[in-house]
Amino acid sequence: MLSQYGGVERFTDGIASELVRQGHAVIIVTNNTHGLDTHEVSSSGVEIFRLPCLNVLDGRYPVPVRNGCYRSVIRELDKRPLDGVLINTRFYLHSLLGVDVARRHGIHAVVLDHGSAYLTLGSPVLDWVIARYEDAITGHLRRQPVDFYGISLKSVEWLAHFGVHARGVIGNSIDAATYRLRASKRSFRSELGIGDELMLAFTGRFIPEKGMSILIDMMGLLQRERVHLVMAGDGPMRSMIEDVALDSVHIVGRLDAPDIAALLLESDLFCLPTRSEGFSTSLLEAAACGTPSLVTDVGGARELMPDESYGFVMPSADGPGFAAVVRNVLQGLYDLSSMGDRCRRRVEERYSWTSSAHQLIEAMHLVDH
């Protein structure tokens, strides 16, 4: 169920399903982090192989286990007549497998970067080790027969930090109309007793780089205001959020896509003080629901919201800065409805899976296939 997964997984599912709809055969090879079947065909017609792995760093860094099951999957892939290979992210050992499979088929793999900063775990020593590891694996990939792309212009800039010249952007997308139509009938305002007070939403993993501490700082500064924050998701920082025990912060846990859409449709403002994104899927989901966003200037935020008429893009993530914007909203200084409508139209016009699939096909030089 995709509600268990992050933005990269949802991107992979979305673009694969669109390619199948266009008549292409698509295989996804991923790590079996949730103990699912090794092989299946999804309802959209995508064939999926899952490699056995060890879940390191609380599942955030799966390491493939090269056992008999692993080798049988590789043998099966080598039999298939592949025309193109897409590698999502540079960070994982799995990425190197994609390079090897592509090479054996005589293909230049497309490496699509989904980040705009180093991964952080909140430990200076561990963060330094992870950064050096990312430097090393990126340096190795630079020497391979691959073509680099970014999920956003910020991702392209981040690749340049490693001395990598990206060939362009293969953008994240969403089927906005379908996403809205599939919203559930849940009313979080009623369930949580929020009524007509200002309702902020966060959806995603409760991890340091998503800005959990910033959200709590913001809500601490807004305790005297008529404002609530509804947080959908889970992760290692959940206990920290619960320990703060602010009455205005409501944790609703992991939600499936219809419930997330229902939450966003009811919310006045989506908040994401993240320090690193390629192009946030949660941001696209909020835009699809006509919910304006308050976010940091990372990933594709500026591409989706080029000026303040679309939403609020902050130069940095800090509690007082985010709280100041919310106070201005409470004072009626902004027309959130117009912002949300403008952002919804932009996502419908510019961020379709048809467009992303076309960008990928061009990157793989398959236009005439």
End-to-end CA, the chain? 32
Give the model's pLDDT for residue 3.
41
Query: Do residues 46 and 151 share a domain?
Result: yes
Query: Do residues 333 and 186 share a domain?
Result: yes
Query: Do residues 189 and 167 share a domain?
Result: no
Task: Return the structure tokens found at 280.
Answer: 């946030």
Chain-centroid distance, C-alpha 361:
21
Q: Is pTM, for the whole model, over 0.85? A: yes
Query: Do residues 6 and 135 share a domain?
Result: yes
Q: Domain for residue 369, yes or no?
A: no
- Whether residue 64 contacts residue 31, with contact meaning beta carbons closer than 8 Å, is answered with yes
Sort 103 into a burial class: Cβ within 10 Å, 0-12 / 13-18 / 19+: middle
Sort 186 into a burial class: Cβ within 10 Å, 0-12 / 13-18 / 19+: middle
Give the model's pLDDT for residue 89.
84
Q: How far apart are CA 263 and CA 254, in angstroms?
A: 12
Query: Do residues 231 and 115 share a domain?
Result: no
Q: How far apart are CA 81 and CA 87, in angstroms?
A: 17
Q: How far apart are CA 86 and CA 28, in angstroms?
A: 9
Q: Domain for residue 53, yes or no?
A: yes
Residue type, 9: E
- Whether residue 280 contacts residue 7, with contact meaning beta carbons closer than 8 Å, is answered with yes
Give the model's pLDDT for residue 369.
45
Query: Do residues 26 and 45 share a domain?
Result: yes
Q: Domain for residue 118, yes or no?
A: yes
Give the Å distances, CA to CA, from 239 to 221, 245, 249.
20, 10, 13
Give the model's pLDDT for residue 367.
54
Q: Domain for residue 27, yes or no?
A: yes
Give the model's pLDDT for residue 56.
82
In the chain, the number of structural domains is 2
- Sheet containing strand 109-113, edge to edge, reads 86-88, 109-113, 146-150
Q: Domain for residue 339, yes or no?
A: yes
Query: Do residues 50 and 98 share a domain?
Result: yes
Q: Domain for residue 139, yes or no?
A: yes
Task: Return the structure tokens found at 247.
Answer: 């009455």
Query: Do residues 169 and 180 share a domain?
Result: no
Query: Do residues 191 and 101 share a domain?
Result: no
Boundaries of domain holding 121: 2-173+352-363
Query: Do residues 241 and 345 share a domain?
Result: yes
Query: Do residues 357 and 337 share a domain?
Result: no
Give bridge partners of residue 87 from the DSSP assignment. 111
Sort 327 into a burial class: Cβ within 10 Å, 0-12 / 13-18 / 19+: middle
Q: Domain for residue 285, yes or no?
A: yes
Task: Return the structure tokens found at 276.
Answer: 């690193």
- Whether residue 144 contacts residue 122, with contact meaning beta carbons closer than 8 Å, is answered with no
Query: Do residues 162 and 180 share a domain?
Result: no
Residues in Cβ contact with 191 at an 8 Å cutoff, skipping those fewer than 6 apart: none
202 in helix, strand or coil?
Answer: strand
Tens place of pLDDT for every residue, the chain, 369 residues?
A: 344 467 788 899 999 999 999 999 999 999 988 888 999 999 999 999 999 988 887 767 888 899 999 999 999 999 999 999 999 988 888 889 999 999 999 999 999 999 888 887 778 898 899 899 999 999 999 999 999 999 999 999 999 999 999 999 999 999 999 999 999 999 999 999 999 999 999 999 998 889 999 999 999 999 999 999 999 999 889 999 999 889 999 999 999 999 999 999 999 999 999 988 889 999 999 999 999 999 999 989 999 999 999 999 999 889 999 999 999 999 999 999 999 999 999 999 999 999 999 999 999 986 554
The CATH number given to whatever domain includes residue 142 is: 3.40.50.2000
- Whether residue 115 contacts residue 278, with contact meaning beta carbons closer than 8 Å, is answered with yes
Q: Domain for residue 368, yes or no?
A: no
